[in-house]
Copies of this chain bind each other. A is one copy, B any other.
Amino acid sequence: MKRNSRLSLALHTLSHMAQDTGRTQTSSEIADHAGTNPVVVRRVLGKLRKAGLLTSVRGHSGGWRLARPSHEITLADVYLALEESLVATRADTEVHACQVERHLEGRVIEILNEVEATLVDRLSTTTIAEIGDCQPLEKTL
């Protein structure tokens, strides 16, 4: 898998689930399809579970499924569930000796926060159902 791909993995998996809501999938199946590892899948989907987007069941015939209808899950829900910021926020806890630097950081962070909000807003206009619902090729494979 490639770098910083947790969002891709999460969205990809949810989109597939949106197409076949009834079925539970194991982390092995998901990992195979996504070309990665069951543990990585559980790690990522675990965050979605904590956010109430997925449910997981242990043991025989266990696995993962959507916790609510796919049209009620937006890309923003998923993005926020992962708690990672695409708009790079340097968790900048250092004290700046320099006044210019403080002023600068303040201005930049202000802008980044605005942009982050824009991102979430844009992501919230698309649901998982819309993504999953587009597979003319998939049927023939």
Interface residues, chain A, with chain B CB atoms under 8 Å away? 2-5, 7-8, 11-12, 15-16, 19, 33, 75, 86-88, 90, 92, 94, 98-101, 103-105, 107-108, 111-112, 114-115, 118-119, 122-123, 126, 131-132, 134-138
Contacts and interface: CB of A to CB of B under 8 A. Distances in A.
B122 A115 contact: yes
The dominant DSSP class at the A interface is helix
Tallying the copies of this chain within the complex gives: 2
B131 A107 contact: yes
Given A88-B88, A90-B4, A115 B118 contact: yes
A3 B104 CA distance: 17
A12 B86 CA distance: 23
